[in-house]
Every structure is written in structure tokens, then in C-alpha cells.
Amino acid sequence: MHYAISYVSTVDTDLETQEIKDLLAHSKKINNERNITGLLLFSEGNFFQVIEGNKMKVKNLFQKIKDDKRHHGIIKIFEKEITRESYNGYESSFLSEEAKYNDPSLQYYINYLKVLDPKSQNTIKSILRAFIS
């Protein structure tokens, strides 16, 4: 059974830029190794993430995410069964001030949402627009 969870959160103010970049790289590596697909973005002190895969793996990962002290204020956007994963793997990105206004980046991430139901697609598109711009 395929499952997906999406959330936004606020990064702990003590976390340095290099630590965030290391976290993004580590998340990409470990999630690809564990067949978790999705996306983790960092922008202006916030994380946006979609995780997909086997239901138990995704639920267990989300519990670890909730327990992680490097961020707080987790707001779950959705948690649901999906027909198939949106992503071919797991990606992460640090959106700098220069990159965040790059329209192709937004479209690149939005293209992955096509397998979600229309309501979820619209919600995520709105969040991504706000997150990236």
C-alpha cells in the first residue's frame, strides 16, 4: 500500500546553514536507500516535505520527524493512501534567496503532484507558491 504525508515546519534558530545543508543531503541519501520517495525543501527558516512509500515506513519516518528537535511547529498538510508515488526518488533542496524566485523550480516541483487528488494538488501548489516565492 502506498502512503504519503506532507507537512511544513519551522527550523530551530540554532541550526547553522551548513547543518541544514548536511541534513538535506543526508535525508536524500538515506531515504533513497530506504525506498522512501518525496521532497524536502528548505526556505527562509522553514521545511516543506512530502514523504511517500510503504505505509509503515512512512508512518515510522514521520514519527521520527516529529521527535526531531531540529525543527518545531509541525503542521501536517495531508496524510493519506495514494495510488502510486509522485516521485521517482527522494530529492532535497536549499532554496536560497536567488533561487526561490525561479519560476521553473516551482513548476518542476508541481509536476510531481499530478498523481495526487485535485484537492491535495491545489493545497500543495498554494503552499509551494508561498514557500518558494
pLDDT at 30: 96
Domain that includes residue 88, residue range = 2-132
Residue pair 11/47 in contact by the 8 Å Cβ criterion: yes
Burial class of 36 by CB neighbour count within 10 A (0 to 12, 13 to 18, 19+):
buried
Report the number of distinct structural domains present in the chain: 1
pLDDT at 24: 92
Measured distance CA(67)–CA(90) in Å, rounded = 21
Task: Give the CATH number of the domain where residue 9 resides.
Answer: 3.30.70.100
Angle at 90 between CA 88 and CA 93, to 5 degrees: 125
Across the chain, which has 133 residues, the per-10-residue mean pLDDT values are 91 93 94 93 88 96 97 93 82 63 60 69 73 62
Measured distance CA(15)–CA(89) in Å, rounded = 26
Measured distance CA(67)–CA(93) in Å, rounded = 22
Q: What percent of the chain has pLDDT over 70?
A: 80
* pTM of the complete model beyond 0.85: no
Q: What percent of the chain has pLDDT over 90?
A: 49
First to last CA, the chain: 34
